[in-house]
Amino acid sequence: MIVKHWPADFLQKAGGFPSTFVAFDLETTGFDRKTDVIIEIGHVLVEDGVVTDELSLLLDWSKSSVVPLHWLVDRIANLRRTLSEKGIAHHLPYERLCKEGIDPIQALTFYRDLFEQLKQQGTPVVGHNVYRFDEPMLEANLVGFQVCEEFAFGDWQLWDTLALEAATQHGPTDPKTLPKAGETLRDWMKRAAYLRAETNLTRTLVKKYGLVEKYDLNTRDSHSACYDARLCHHMMQEFRAMLDAEPEPAPPAAVQLPPVAAPPPRPGRAVRGVAPRQPVVPVGVPKAPAEPNLFDGLPADGSKDIVFGDPARRRRQRNR
């Protein structure tokens, strides 16, 4: 599990791998945070690995004067049709939202206050693909409907099970999976969430970790907010078990660099402090006679020319 290989100071700043946290999930009319709205918010409160409370709220946007009713009906019908074509059940038809839903501003205000309280307490928050979808979608609805002026979880608060799974699949040998100097938990999670890996929660990871059999889950509740929040909790349980089972990583071995040899002396130059090497003459081999110097015996001032005896003419010849 990739957290086992995080630097100790980074894990300490994150508060260690959490066993007490709140896991949450959103269901929406679509994936465009500029136009789509939240129709369900659910969360589970986990204390020391045990679920102690849970809640799911349906948002009835027919009670809103801002969202056009015809758009809402068409959007939900289109979403149900798209999911049905993929074999995915959709539990939130328009009729159910009108029957069981509450005023959307009331629901958003409740979760604004809950998440603000968790942030002040430093309580970790867990979600799946939460950095790329849930947090920005929640922020867009809270700010867009003027429930608050700004919204974001803390930089060391939000744990994304998608990012943890993707980095774990790549392993610690991939440098992209390890925190960099100066990064926060948010920085690492946002970066790791883009690693290419099989991370679909309900179609891939439920089967990979055998969550249905281990925790007696009813798959017909898939893609409801509380059910998916519980899946995030079960993923954290699986990660915890992997952390406890894995041995501590060995410290990196010291790298022994080979000794660096001194560079050879440049030809024609003596090394400082060392006498220049003299050529060795083989025994029994006579030395070659020196070539005759044509200027031997002539005055250094050039007063005698070896050609015609005229010094000025000799100088002119040399300057040509």
**Exposure pattern of 257-274 as b/e (b: 16+ CB <10 Å)?**
eeeeeeeeeeeeeeeeee
Span 102-106, average pLDDT: 97
53 in any annotated domain: yes
Total structural domains in the chain? 1
∠ Cα 193 234 106 (to 5°): 80
Domain containing residue 71: 2-245
Flag whether 93 is in a domain. Answer: yes
Paired strand residues for 158: 125
- The tens digit of pLDDT for each residue in 72-97 reads 999 999 998 988 888 787 889 999 99
The bridge status of strand 38-47 relative to strand 21-28 is antiparallel
Q: Which residues 6+ apart lie within 8 Å of 33 measured at CB? A: 136, 137, 139, 140, 141
Residue with more model confidence, 283 or 152: 152
Cβ neighbours of 224 (radius 10 Å): 20
Give, as one character, the DSSP assignment of residue 287.
P
In the chain, % of residues over pLDDT 70: 78
Q: Give CA–CA dist 56/226, Å, rounded.
A: 6
Q: Are 82 and 75 in contact (CB under 8 A)?
A: no
User: CA 88 to CA 299: how far, in whole Å?
Assistant: 111
Domain assignment of residue 285, yes or no: no
Q: In what order do the strands lie in the sheet with 125-127?
A: 50-58, 38-47, 21-28, 125-127, 158-160
Query: Is residue 86, in this structure, part of any structural domain at all?
Result: yes
Residue 304 lies in a domain: no
Q: What is the pLDDT of residue 275?
A: 57
What is the pTM (predicted TM-score) of this model?
0.76
135-144 and 104-121 helices, crossing angle to 10°:
120
Residue 17 included in any domain: yes
Pick 229 or 276 by higher pLDDT. 229
Is 276 a domain residue?
no
Specify the 3-state DSSP secondary structure of 27.
strand
Is the C-alpha dihedral spanning 111, 116, 122, 128 positive or negative? positive
Mean model confidence pLDDT for the chain = 86
Instruction: Over range 86-113, report the average pLDDT.
Output: 92
Residue 292 domain flag? no
Backbone angles phi, psi at 207, to 5 degrees: -75, -40
CATH number, domain containing residue 106: 3.30.420.10
228: Cα within 13 Å, side-chain hemisphere: 24
